[in-house]
Structure 1
Amino acid sequence: MKKTLLVMAAALGLAGGLALSAQAEDYTLRSGDQLSIIVAQDETISTSPTANFTPYVVRPDGKVAIPYVGEIYASGMTVAQFTDTVKAGLSKYIVDPDVAVNIVKWGSVRVYVFGEVHKPGAYELTKGHTVMDAIGAAEGFTWDTAKKKIFLIHQDDTNKAIPIHLNDMLKTGNMKENYTLREGDILYLTKNGKISFARDIAPFLSGAYMLSEIKDNN
């Protein structure tokens, strides 16, 4: 038993490392990300290095407004893809535009983690917004967690629970089910794999969204 626990702990460390590496290389823009955009040929478009804020923020609708270019649907793009899109738009007005884009502040996503974790509750996630990030924010799963049956519930579709096979991620490093989380998502880690939506999840849904409404109205 002890050997099994050690192997699983090592696997968790390996999987976490893979996830962080993937996030660093493949991070995609999302709502709330604040961007610095520098256009060498036009200072009026460029973010001021002395300003305390940037006008370039990924809005809740996923778009960023750029002078001359218009609105770009940035959500889901990598920084490189977004940079290329800005260059393409500016090339109609500037010959071979020199554009540099950086993220100056990560947008946050508020999610809820309940069930068999060490610290259940609401968490504001920045930069990493995945299932593994949320479990890490809740200080990890307990030894009683049914790792083959974790459930993800989206705020806009509370009647559907998406199953997640955590064991597969831990043992193989396959991050296919390490889903990107949205605002208001709930992760529920079961204890024995047997789950009743009405009994086990519904009470957490109502409690989580009541907490969300209280916070938003303060």
Structure 2
Amino acid sequence: MRRAIMMLTLAVFIFNIAGNLVWAEEYRLDSGDVLTIGVWGYEELQMKEVAIRPDGKMSFPIVGEVQAAGLSTGQLTDLLTKGLSDFVKEPKVSINIAKLHTTRVYVLGEVAKPGMYELEKQHNLLDALGAAGSYTSDAAKKKVHIIRKDQTSTPIKVNIMNIWEKGDMTQNYALGDGDVVYLSSNGKIHFASDILPWISATYQVTRMNDE
């Protein structure tokens, strides 16, 4: 168990170092994110806390309402630059993420601390496993399942050993709000008896929390 935790911690550390080099450009802004926006040479356009509203929009001086959710910081920079260009000569816009929204996920099954967790930053599988204290010695590491909140698609089957041994970060899936990560025990997994009861209970709790 201790070895599993050490492996997970090391993997998260290593992949975060590598991932952070491109993360800011790849990350898609979402409701609840808070941005720091500046325009070089224009103190009146320095905004320390610009929040993206639940409708995905934000407001910025001169430009007005902007659809920010779904864009990268680079795309939003280009959008604001274009909007300011009629009023500001060669505007140099900088955007930093001051605070990220949280994503609520459920990590269940063979983990040290099953439960609901609020993830920040990359909201991915490794982050979820790390929050839950890693997997137990009985976990089937080649049979990790991700169940999307909408339950309309087939659960995603992940072999996390491919992450450890091959560095295959395509297996480190991004998680959305309300998704479930389920680690079965070694041996065969029966979806109906092993996973569905967890999902049903989870979404009953989710509905109660959202009411």
Query: TM-score, normalized by length of structure 2?
Result: 0.84
Q: Does 1:71 align with 2:66?
A: yes
The one-character-per-residue Cα deviations of 1:15-69 (angstroms, maximum 9, x if unpaired) are 222321244221313332111112245555432x5xxxx3x22344544343416
Q: Does 1:32 align with 2:27?
A: no
Give 1:87's aligned residue. Answer: 81
Give 1:114's aligned residue. Answer: 108
Letter in 2 for 1:18: I
Find the aligned partners of 1:167 and 1:184 in 2 and give their Cα distance.
25
Aligned ranges 1:172-183 → 2 under 5 Å = 172-183=166-177
Whether contact under 8 Å (1:63, 1:75) holds in the other structure is: no
Whether contact under 8 Å (1:15, 1:173) holds in the other structure is: no
Shift of 1:149: 1.0
Aligned ranges 1:1-218 → 2 under 5 Å = 11-25=7-21, 26-27=23-24, 28=27, 29-40=29-40, 42-47=42-47, 54=49, 56-67=50-61, 68=63, 70-77=65-72, 79-158=73-152, 160-192=154-186, 194-217=188-211
Shift of 1:98: 2.4
Find the aligned partners of 1:61 and 1:147 in 2 and give their Cα distance.
39
Evaluate the alpha carbon distance shift between residue 22 and residue 84 of structure 1 in structure 2; reply closer, same or farther with a 3 A threshold.
farther
The one-character-per-residue Cα deviations of 1:122-152 (angstroms, maximum 9, x if unpaired) are 0011123100000000000111111111011
Find the aligned partners of 2:18 and 2:67 in 1 and give their Cα distance.
25
Find the aligned partners of 1:23 and 1:58 in 2 and give their Cα distance.
24
Letter in 2 for 1:36: T
Letter in 1 for 2:11: A
Whether contact under 8 Å (2:8, 2:134) holds in the other structure is: no
Letter in 2 for 1:20: N
Whether contact under 8 Å (2:110, 2:139) holds in the other structure is: yes
Letter in 2 for 1:31: S
Whether contact under 8 Å (1:83, 1:99) holds in the other structure is: yes
Letter in 1 for 2:200: S
Evaluate the alpha carbon distance shift between residue 22 and residue 82 of structure 1 in structure 2; reply closer, same or farther with a 3 A threshold.
farther
Find the aligned partners of 1:12 and 1:154 in 2 and give their Cα distance.
23
**Superposition CA RMSD, Å:** 2.6
Whether contact under 8 Å (1:149, 1:190) holds in the other structure is: yes
What secondary structure is seen at the aligned counterpart in 2 of 1:114? strand
Whether contact under 8 Å (1:58, 1:74) holds in the other structure is: yes
Whether contact under 8 Å (1:149, 1:193) holds in the other structure is: no
Find the aligned partners of 2:67 and 2:176 in 1 and give their Cα distance.
20
Query: TM-score, normalized by length of structure 1?
Result: 0.82
Give aligned-pair identity as a percent: 40
